[in-house]
């Protein structure tokens, strides 16, 4: 499994070199203030519902979530470069509730597995292999996280 980890780290480093979000909007929950409970993150990071179509875009866009680098799902079978470092996300909404999905995307180390190679997308603790431009910033904005969560919630079998 070592090569998979190395590959994932390389993918993550390359993938996120182009994007960084300033943490600035006062109406949003700040990354350090996100409350993780046993049920996940129960409060929307923006106070609003996400948009699943925008979320699909964040999911496949290499400069945004680039989730496809590690995760396949049938709804995206026409997109190039499906990774299989992470599990397929078909039916993920049957396996997890929306608060759980929000916790996983916000900070997978808290929401899923402390040792995961999956980046925390709305966390200031993104890991050691992170370019300087990300220090003090999150990979996705609160709105983009909500949009991705809304998209994941459509993946039912
Ligand atoms: C660098 C690779 C990588 C990237 C990029 C990545 N993930 Fe993951 N993801 C993983 C791995 C590996 C797991 C399995 C959990 C573990 O590590 O134990 C996972 C697990 C998950 C799970 C739980 C799936 C299940 O069936 O248990 C969800 C949901 C998820 N990822 C969503 C996303 C979303 C949404 C994005 C993009 C915003 C994303 N991931 C980006 C590697 C990645």
Which pLDDT score is estimated for 22?
55
Q: What is the CATH number of domain 2-152?
A: 1.10.760.10
Which residues in the chain land under pLDDT 70? 1-26, 80-81, 126-135
Nearest protein CA to atom 28 of ligand 1, as residue: 104
CB 35 within 8 A of CB 152: no
Which pLDDT score is estimated for 27?
75
Nearest protein CA to atom 15 of ligand 1, as residue: 116
Please tell me if the CB atom of residue 118 comes closer than 6 angstroms to any atom of ligand 1.
yes
Please tell me if the CB atom of residue 50 comes closer than 6 angstroms to any atom of ligand 1.
no
Which pLDDT score is estimated for 124?
87
CB 28 within 8 A of CB 142: yes
> Which residue of 5, 21, 52, 71 sits with most ligand 1 atoms within 8 Å of its CB, as the best mutation to test the pocket?
71
Which pLDDT score is estimated for 13?
46
Which pLDDT score is estimated for 18?
46
Distances (CA, A) of 51 to 17, 56, 121, 149: 25, 9, 17, 9
Nearest protein CA to atom 9 of ligand 1, as residue: 86
Please tell me if the CB atom of residue 92 comes closer than 6 angstroms to any atom of ligand 1.
yes
Nearest protein CA to atom 32 of ligand 1, as residue: 105
**Is the C-alpha dihedral spanning 82, 129, 63, 142 positive or negative?**
positive
The closest of 132, 127, 130, 124 to 116, measured between CA atoms, is 127
Q: Which atom of ligand 1 is nearest to the CA of 88?
A: 26
């Amino acid at each position: 499994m070592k090569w998979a980890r190395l590959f994932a780290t390389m993918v993550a480093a390359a993938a996120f070199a182009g994007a960084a979000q300033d943490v600035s909007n006062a109406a949003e929950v700040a990354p350090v203030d996100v409350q993780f409970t046993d049920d996940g993150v129960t409060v929307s990071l923006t106070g609003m519902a996400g948009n699943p179509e925008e979320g699909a875009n964040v999911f496949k866009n290499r400069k945004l979530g680039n989730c496809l680098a590690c995760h396949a799902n049938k709804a995206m079978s026409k997109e190039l470069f499906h990774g299989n470092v992470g599990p397929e996300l078909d039916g993920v909404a049957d396996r997890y509730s929306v608060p759980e999905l929000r916790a996983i995307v916000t900070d997978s180390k808290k929401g899923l597995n402390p040792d995961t190679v999956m980046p925390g997308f709305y966390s200031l603790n993104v890991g050691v292999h992170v370019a300087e431009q990300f220090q003090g910033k999150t990979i996705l904005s609160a709105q983009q996280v909500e949009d991705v969560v809304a998209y994941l919630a459509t993946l039912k079998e």
